[in-house]
Structure 1
Amino acid sequence: MLKRLAHVTLYVRDCEEALVFYTEKLGFEKRMDSRMDDGSRWLTVGLPGQEVEIVLHDPTHWHREEIAREMLAAVGKNPMWVWETDDFSTTYETLRGRGVKFVSEPVEVIYGMEAIFEDLYGNRFLLLSPASL
């Protein structure tokens, strides 16, 4: 049976620039960084205190050319992920101050407070502070 979600993969064009964005702008920590002889790189980040790791995956060295092209075409087209916070205002202002691009202003909705932001490739993420029920 399935035990837990361990990793999710995010296709990136450049591992180093993605690492800078996710660690310096969003506050993730680098978890794994292994370089292979063929130029490929296993690079993961995660939120402090959370087990799930995000694989920052540049498919260029990992896959056949045709498959790598298809994966690179998917950069910036990830399904939206929802990141929860217990202090919406502080988190929103901190991320904006670090240069994170918000594509929607904060809005109060029936289920809490939310705003949508993008990473450096155009992947969209929802910042959510759930309402107390």
Structure 2
Amino acid sequence: MARLAHITLVVRDYDEALAFYVGKLGFNLVEDTDQPEQDKRWVVIRPPGAGPHTTTILLARAATPEQVARVGDQAGGRVAFFLSTDDFERDHARFTAAGVTWVRPPVDQPYGRVAMFADLYGNLWDLIGPAPVGASAG
């Protein structure tokens, strides 16, 4: 059986990315291994509470002009990442207290409660929680 192991997120700097994703969003650092022969690090994170078989995010430092141009524009201005939570209000409040920039306020959709935020580079993320009790499935 195949599964998606990692997705790559192109970043400007490993440490500033870790400060945001681990420090502000509460992601877990899975691995941070120096690879001096390639002048890079293997930096892997995952959302808090995610199990060992969850798809992880590989933070890849931009090393060429083409890669630098992609920092903050992983999906051409569309939402690039969807972060699911079992408690929307808790995580929305925690992210707000940590200084996360909200692009769209929370709204109720048939699939759940959702709010859009930008990461430190401008990539767009949706925080998605369960649909409120009594919400119509549309």
Q: TM-score range by the shorter chain?
A: 0.7 to 0.9
What TM-score does the superposition give when structure 1 sets the normalisation length?
A: 0.86
- SS of equivalent to 1:106: strand
CA drift at 1:89:
1.1
- State the alpha-carbon separation in 2 of the partners of residues 130 and 91 from structure 1: 12
- Identity, % of aligned positions: 38
2:56 pairs with one of 44, 53, 69: 53
Residue 52 of structure 1, CA deviation: 1.6
Runs of 4+ in 1 over 4 A off after TM superposition: none
Q: What's the CA shift for 1:83?
A: 1.0
Structure 1 residues 57, 96: CA separation in 2 closer, same or farther (over 3 Å shift)?
same
Structure 1 residue 69 displacement after superposition = 1.2
Tell me the number of residue pairs that the alignment of Structure 1 and Structure 2 aligns.
125
Q: Provide TM-score, normalisation by structure 2.
A: 0.83
- Which position in structure 2 is the counterpart of 1:12? 11
Map 1:1-133 onto structure 2 (within 5 A): 3-38=2-37, 39-47=39-47, 48-50=49-51, 51-60=54-63, 68-79=64-75, 80-131=80-131
Give, in whole Å, the separation in 1 of the partners of 2:59 and 2:104: 25
After superposition, the C-alpha distances for 1:11-55 in whole angstroms (9 at most, x for unaligned) are: 000010001111011111111111122421111111233322101
The RMSD of aligned alpha carbons is: 1.6
> Greater strand share, 1 or 2?
2
Runs of at least 5 residues in structure 1 that lack an aligned partner in the other structure: 61-67
Q: Partners in 2 of 1:52 and 1:76 — Cα distance?
A: 21
Q: Structure 2, unaligned stretches of length 5 or more?
A: none
Structure 2 SS opposite 1:19: helix
